[in-house]
Amino acid sequence: MHFHSMATLPGSEVFLALIRNTPEPSEETDQPRTIPDMTPEVRSIVMEEFADVFPEKLPDGLPPDRGDAMKIETDPTADPPFRPVIRLSIAELDELRKQLDQLLAAGFIKPSTSPYGAPVLFVRKKDGTLRMCVDYRGLNKITRKNRHPLPRIDELLDRFRGARYYSKLDLLSGYHQQRIFEPHTHKTAFRCRYGHFEFNVVPCCSLWPY
């Protein structure tokens, strides 16, 4: 009896199986391999040779205009969100002053008169240093989301099949490497003890997908 006829019989259950040969396990296939001779000394030489690719800090000034400035489309019927300034500790205020000076000097932020105003707060990183954060929940709430599909993690992992070499990259201050569409910078405004500012580059908010 043909498979199709058997599969259509009342009460039949159909299963699909795939059988293929697999290589015998060995040390070569079981263990990840690193690039030979990539000792700490060699790594230091490579990083020194390509220092422009591996900087310790981003250069001052806005990133190049690549034509991909982030737009922040908001509900035109919604009022601009603003919240009171959050109380910070003495240590947090010192760190805030320091980071504001750095961001202003780099051109990443500028003084603002925007009706928007998100509060600033700090979280402590694993190494004990303080990370400056802006609470953009109010802005996120009225932002029109871009529903372009993001890659599925499981599908990305599937694409590793057959690969022999892997690398990973972490962009230095990746958010600050993309501009904000100039007419929309006022929507990123934040408030603190030392004034009212807005971002020229991307802060951390719901529209930035990377």
The length of the chain in residues reads: 210
> Cα–Cα distance between 132 and 193 in angstroms, integer?
14
pLDDT means per 10 residues in the chain (210 residues)?
Answer: 64 66 58 66 81 73 83 94 96 96 93 97 92 93 88 89 77 74 96 96 61
pLDDT, residue 17, reads 66
Residue 181: both structure tokens together: 């569409």
pLDDT, residue 196, reads 98
> Cα–Cα distance between 157 and 120 in angstroms, integer?
37
Q: 78: which DSSP letter? A: S
pTM: 0.68
pLDDT, residue 86, reads 95
Superfamily, domain 61-199: HIV Type 1 Reverse Transcriptase, subunit A, domain 1 (3.10.10.10)
The domains of the chain are located at: 61-199
